[in-house]
Amino acid sequence: MERKPHALVTGASSGIGAAVATRLLRDGWRVTGVSRRPAPFDHPAFDHLSLDLSDVDTIAGAVAALEPTALVHAAGLLKVGPLGALNHDDGAAMWRLHVDVAERLANALAPRLPEGGRIVLIGSRTASGAAGRGQYAATKAALVALARSWAMELAPKGITVNVVAPAATETPMLKDPTRADVAPKLPPIGRFIRPEEVAGAVAFLLSAEAAAITGQQLVICGGSSL
């Protein structure tokens, strides 16, 4: 009997991470969801790994026994602030969660990914720059550099590495009152991106049909980049 593909998905308790887990479970994947809070899934193919990703020194040990087919790093944090009033602790926290965690997970799991394995990092359209979100944008831009570099290294094994970069998406992050001074811009399509749309793009990049796509950033912006 053929084994189900297995994805490790961070940030699985809400937002894009939860949407990705839902889509993959629907598609027949086994999913290990990583989050601090319990994930909202009651599914025989879902396992919850309770882990505080900000405690980066625990990550390698926590995933040491796992041998997934794919890694999806969707956990995210947004703190805003203009130049001249930047909070350096906020910047460090975003770098730790977005970049350092991605490095540590990929470093631990990539050697165990099978041929045809997948890594997808959730980036942001703001990686090209956004007023009031410079620190956040910098961390998301770093993910593109990581993905392109790792894609070069892993291509001989048939492992792809890509970034899915949405514009403002309907998640709890969008409604965070701390970003009141830097309100999200409505895309030209007249609505925000839906988590399910991001999950659909992730599912495609994890599929066999996407085997020739690697080192790329797929922007889902509803026309915001036009």
The set of catalytic residues is 136
Q: In this structure, are residues 181 and 175 in contact, taking their beta carbons and an 8 Å threshold? A: no
Q: Strands (DSSP E) along the chain, which ranges? A: 6-10, 30-35, 46-50, 70-73, 118-122, 160-166, 217-220
Query: How many C-beta atoms surround the C-beta of residue 159 within 10 A?
Result: 21
Total count of residues recorded for the chain = 226
As beta bridge partners, residue 218 has 164
Please tell me the distance from the alpha carbon of residue 142 to that of residue 81, in angstroms, as a whole number: 19
CA-to-CA distance for 155 and 158, rounded, in angstroms? Answer: 5
- Residue 205's Cβ-side half-sphere holds a number of Cα atoms within 13 Å equal to 30
Spatial contact of 21 and 12, defined as CB atoms under 8 Å apart: yes
